[in-house]
A and B are shown apart, each in its own frame.
Chain A
Amino acid sequence: MIRPPFPTCFLQWGIPMRERTSGRTVGGFRNVFLQGPAVTLLLLWMLVPLGMTLWFSFQRYNLINPMISGFAGWDNYTYLLTDPALWTAMGNTLLLVGWVLAISVIGGTLLAVLFQQEFFGRGIARLLVIAPFFVMPTVGALVWKNMLMHPVNGVFAWLSDLLGLPVIDWFSSMPLTSIIIIVAWQWMPFALLILLTAIQSLDDDQVEAARMDGAGPLAIFWFITLPHLKRAISVVIMIEMIFLLTIFAEIFVTTSGGPGLASTNLAYFIYIRALLDFDVGGASAGGVIAIILANIVAIFLIRTVAKNLET
Chain B
Amino acid sequence: MATLQLNNIVKDFGGTQVIKGVDLEVKDREFVVFVGPSGCGKSTLMRMIAGLESTTSGEIAIDGQRVNEVGPADRGLAMVFQSYALYPHMTVEDNMGFSLRLAKVPRAERREKVLAAARILQLEPLLDRKPRALSGGQRQRVAIGRAIVRNPSIFLFDEPLSNLDAALRVQMRIELARLHEELDATMIYVTHDQIEAMTMADKIVVLQDGVVEQIGSPMELYHHPRNRFVAGFIGSPKMNFLEVEVRGADAEGVDVALPGGDCRVPVAGDGVSAGDTLTLGIRPEHLVLDEAGPLTGRIQVIERLGGVTSLYLEHGDSEWILVADGNVAHRVHDEVRFTFDPACAHLFTADGLALAHLTRHPLADIDRKENRASSASDGR
Q: A211-B73, A212-B72, A227-B89 are in contact. Are A205 and B98 (CB under 8 A)?
A: no
Query: Is the Cβ of B103 less than 8 Å from the Cβ of A206?
Result: no
Partner of A213, one of B52, B83, B150: B150
Query: Is the Cβ of B89 less than 8 Å from the Cβ of A212?
Result: no
Q: Within the assembled complex, what's the spacing in Å between the Cα atoms of A208 and B43?
A: 13
User: Shortest beta-carbon distance, B104 to chain A, in Å?
Assistant: 10
Residues of A within 8 A of B150 (CB): 213
Q: State which residues 43-61 of B face A: CB under 8 Å.
A: 50, 52
Residues of B within 8 A of A206 (CB): 85-88
User: Shortest beta-carbon distance, B148 to chain A, in Å?
Assistant: 13
Query: Is the Cβ of A311 less than 8 Å from the Cβ of B81?
Result: no
Interface string of B261-293 (1 = CB under 8 A from A): 000000000000000000000000000000000
Q: Which residue of B lies closest to A227 (CB)?
A: B89
Q: Within the assembled complex, what's the spacing in Å between the Cα atoms of A219 and B71?
A: 15
Q: A210-B98, A223-B98, A230-B89 are in contact. Are A205 and B73 (CB under 8 A)?
A: no
Q: Within the assembled complex, what's the spacing in Å between the Cα atoms of A244 and B275?
A: 88
User: Shortest beta-carbon distance, B329 to chain A, in Å?
Assistant: 51
Interface string of B73-92 (1 = CB under 8 A from A): 11001110101011111100
Q: A205-B83, A206-B85 are in contact. Are A211 and B98 (CB under 8 A)?
A: no
Query: Is the Cβ of A213 less than 8 Å from the Cβ of B99?
Result: yes
Partner of B81, one of A209, A215, A230: A209
Q: Does chain B have a CB within 8 A of A203?
A: yes
Q: Does chain B have a CB within 8 A of A37?
A: no
Q: Within the assembled complex, what's the spacing in Å between the Cα atoms of A213 and B74?
A: 9
Q: Within the assembled complex, what's the spacing in Å between the Cα atoms of A230 and B90?
A: 13
User: Shortest beta-carbon distance, A162 to chain B, in Å?
Assistant: 45
Query: Is the Cβ of B102 less than 8 Å from the Cβ of A215?
Result: yes
Residues of B within 8 A of A215 (CB): 73, 98, 102
Q: Does chain A have a CB within 8 A of B130?
A: yes
Query: Is the Cβ of B52 less than 8 Å from the Cβ of A212?
Result: yes
User: Shortest beta-carbon distance, B182 to chain A, in Å?
Assistant: 22
User: Shortest beta-carbon distance, B73 to chain A, in Å?
Assistant: 4
Q: Within the assembled complex, what's the spacing in Å between the Cα atoms of A205 and B86?
A: 9
Query: Is the Cβ of B98 less than 8 Å from the Cβ of A212?
Result: no
Residues of B within 8 A of A212 (CB): 50, 52, 72-73, 77-79, 99
Residues of B within 8 A of A228 (CB): 88-89
Q: Within the assembled complex, what's the spacing in Å between the Cα atoms of A134 and B85?
A: 38
What is the total of A-B residue contacts with beta carbons within 8 Å? 61
Q: Does chain B have a CB within 8 A of A32?
A: no
Q: Does chain B have a CB within 8 A of A214?
A: yes
Q: Within the assembled complex, what's the spacing in Å between the Cα atoms of A228 and B60?
A: 34
Query: Is the Cβ of A223 less than 8 Å from the Cβ of B87?
Result: yes
User: Shortest beta-carbon distance, B280 to chain A, in Å?
Assistant: 45
Q: Within the assembled complex, what's the spacing in Å between the Cα atoms of A209 and B74?
A: 13
User: Shortest beta-carbon distance, A251 to chain B, in Å?
Assistant: 39
Q: State which residues 24-73 of B face A: CB under 8 Å.
A: 50, 52, 71-73
Residues of B within 8 A of A208 (CB): 52, 72, 79, 81, 85
Interface string of A213-235 (1 = CB under 8 A from B): 11100010001100110100000
Query: Is the Cβ of A224 less than 8 Å from the Cβ of B87?
Result: yes
Q: A212, A215, A224 — which one has the most chain B CB atoms within 10 A of its CB?
A: A212
A: interface residue count bin: 10 to 19
Residues of A within 8 A of B79 (CB): 208-209, 212
User: Shortest beta-carbon distance, A22 to chain B, in Å?
Assistant: 8
Partner of B85, one of A205, A227, A230: A205
Residues of B within 8 A of A311 (CB): 89, 130
Residues of B within 8 A of A211 (CB): 52, 71-73
Residues of A within 8 A of B78 (CB): 212
Q: Within the assembled complex, what's the spacing in Å between the Cα atoms of A73 and B218?
A: 92
Residues of B within 8 A of A213 (CB): 73, 98-99, 102, 146, 150
Residues of A within 8 A of B81 (CB): 205, 208-209
User: Shortest beta-carbon distance, B103 to chain A, in Å?
Assistant: 6
Query: Is the Cβ of B102 less than 8 Å from the Cβ of A214?
Result: yes
Residues of B within 8 A of A209 (CB): 79, 81, 85-87, 146
Residues of A within 8 A of B88 (CB): 206, 227-228
User: Shortest beta-carbon distance, B305 to chain A, in Å?
Assistant: 36
Residues of A within 8 A of B72 (CB): 208, 211-212
Q: Which residue of B lies closest to A206 (CB)?
A: B85
Residues of B within 8 A of A210 (CB): 87, 98
Q: Which residue of A lies closest to B150 (CB)?
A: A213
Q: Within the assembled complex, what's the spacing in Å between the Cα atoms of A209 and B98?
A: 10
Q: Within the assembled complex, what's the spacing in Å between the Cα atoms of A206 and B99?
A: 13
Q: Within the assembled complex, what's the spacing in Å between the Cα atoms of A176 and B71?
A: 49
Q: A208, A215, A224, A228 — which one has the most chain B CB atoms within 10 A of its CB?
A: A208
User: Shortest beta-carbon distance, B238 to chain A, in Å?
Assistant: 32
Q: Which residue of A lies closest to B81 (CB)?
A: A205
Query: Is the Cβ of B102 less than 8 Å from the Cβ of A203?
Result: no
Interface string of A26-66 (1 = CB under 8 A from B): 00000000000000000000000000000000000000000
Q: Within the assembled complex, what's the spacing in Å between the Cα atoms of A219 and B81?
A: 20
User: Shortest beta-carbon distance, B74 to chain A, in Å?
Assistant: 8
Residues of A within 8 A of B90 (CB): 227
9 other contacts beyond A205-B85, A210-B98, A228-B88, with CB at 8 A cut-off?
A203-B85, A206-B86, A209-B87, A211-B73, A213-B99, A214-B99, A214-B103, A227-B87, A227-B89
Please list 26 pairs of residues, one from A and one from B, whose beta carbons are closer than 8 Å in the complex, sorted by A's number: A205-B83, A206-B88, A208-B52, A208-B72, A209-B79, A209-B85, A209-B146, A210-B87, A212-B50, A212-B52, A212-B73, A212-B77, A213-B73, A213-B98, A213-B99, A214-B74, A214-B99, A214-B102, A215-B73, A215-B98, A224-B87, A227-B87, A227-B88, A227-B89, A227-B90, A228-B89
Which 8 pairs across A and B sit closest by C-beta, in order of nearness?
A214-B73, A205-B85, A213-B99, A209-B85, A227-B89, A214-B102, A205-B81, A205-B83
